[in-house]
Amino acid sequence: MRDFSKTDILFCAHGDRRGAQRNSNLKELAAKVTQQLNPHSCDIALLSEEGDLERKLDAASGSRFIIIPMIFSDGYFFTKITNAVNEPVANHSYKSINVMPPLCDWPELAQAINISFPLGPILLVAHGSKKSSASRLANERLADRLKQKYGRSVECAYLEEEPFAEESIQTFSEAINVVGLFMGEGLHGDEDWQAVLHKAKETPIRASTIGSMAELCPLVVSKIQCAIDDE
C-alpha cells in the first residue's frame, strides 16, 4: 500500500462566488481523498481569493507536494498556479513537487466521461471567453479524444463565446448527454448550467457537471497514486 504520510495534497480551483454551500464539491472531494489516502495534509486553495494559494503553498511541510488544478484549461488560472509554485518566496522544503495538468488534458477524464455517459451524443459545455482561446481549445482537445479514442459523437459549446450553449442544446432533436466543465455549483455550475439545461428540447439522458460526478473522486485518487508511482 502506498504511503502518503509525508505527502501534502492541494486542490486548486477558482472558487464559488455564489451558492448556499460554496465550494461544497471541492470540500467533499478533499475530504474523500483524505479518508482514502490519509496524506500528511489535504487542503483546497481558492484562486479567486487573493493570497490563498500562496498561503497554502507556504504552509506545506511534508516532503512531497502534489498540486491538483481543478480547472479545465491551461489559461490564466493555471498560469497563476505555476507562477506561484515558481516564486522564490514559496516554501520549497519539500523534496518533490508535482503540478498536475488541467483536467481537460487528463486522458482519464475522457475515459471516465465515456463510461459515465455510455449512450447517445455528448454536448461538452465549457466557460469560453472572448479574450482567450484557452477554454475553447481545452474543450476541443477533450472532444477530440472522445471522438478519436472512443468513437463518440461530441459537440462543444460555451457560456461566453460562440457557439453558445443555450443555442447549441436546442439544435438536438433527440435526447443527449450534457457534460459541464465546471467544478463548483456557483454562478456557472448552477445558475448558468440550469439555464442551459432548461433550453433542451428533450430531457437529457444524463446531465452533470464534472464537479458533481460521483466518478470524479475515484479518478482523482487513481491519478494521485499514479503520480507517486511515476516518481
Confidence at 150, pLDDT banded by 50, 70, 90: very high
- Give the chain's domains with CATH numbers: 7-102+214-229 (3.40.50.1400), 105-212 (3.40.50.1400)
Specify the higher pLDDT residue, 228 or 198. Answer: 198
**C-alpha distances in angstroms, 115 versus 37, 112, 121, 219?**
24, 5, 13, 12
Residue 179 belongs to what H/E stretch? strand 177-180
Q: What is the mean pLDDT of residues 91-99?
A: 71
Answering whether pTM is above 0.75, one says yes
- Tell me the pLDDT tens digit for each residue of 130-140: 999 999 999 99
- Residue 94's pLDDT band (cuts 50, 70, 90): low
User: Judging by beta carbons within 10 Å of its beta carbon (0-12, 13-18, 19+), is residue 223 exposed, middle or buried?
Assistant: middle
The pLDDT of residue 203: 95
Distance CA(184)–CA(193), nearest Å, equals 11
